[in-house]
């Protein structure tokens, strides 16, 4: 549940960035295509700023780490030895 909520917040943040960078059409396209839009905006901001680490990248990496920990915790909790 937490992973879904955090993923939604990151997606709204990417949509916000798209709107400020390129307007309504980019925001609409970003909102319509979540995963690929985040990848696009990470690359676009990286290209523009020359720095890989910015808000969207940090949030995305933290999100992936959170989901990985949740998956591992679920596997360990379901194992008979865990």
Q: Collapse the DSSP code of 2 into the 3-class scheme (helix H, G, I; strand E, B; otherwise coil) and give the result.
A: helix
> What is the structure's pLDDT at 79?
81
> Distance (Å, rounded) from C-alpha 45 to C-alpha 26?
14
Output the six-digit token pair for 24. Answer: 């309504």
Output the six-digit token pair for 55. Answer: 């808000």
**Per-residue pLDDT tens digits for 4-58:** 899 999 999 999 999 999 999 999 999 999 999 999 999 999 999 999 999 999 9
> Distance (Å, rounded) from C-alpha 32 to C-alpha 59?
20
Q: Which residues of 35-52 are buried (b: 16+ CB within 10 A; e: fewer)?
A: eebbebbbebbeeeeeee
């Amino acid at each position: 549940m937490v992973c879904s909520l955090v993923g939604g917040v990151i997606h709204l943040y990417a949509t916000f960035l798209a709107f400020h960078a390129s307007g309504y059409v980019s925001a609409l396209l970003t909102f319509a295509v979540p995963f690929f839009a985040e990848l696009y905006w990470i690359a676009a901001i990286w290209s523009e700023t020359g720095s890989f680490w910015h808000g969207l990248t940090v949030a995305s990496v933290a999100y992936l780490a959170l989901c990985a920990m949740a998956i591992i915790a679920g596997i360990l909790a379901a194992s008979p030895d865990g």
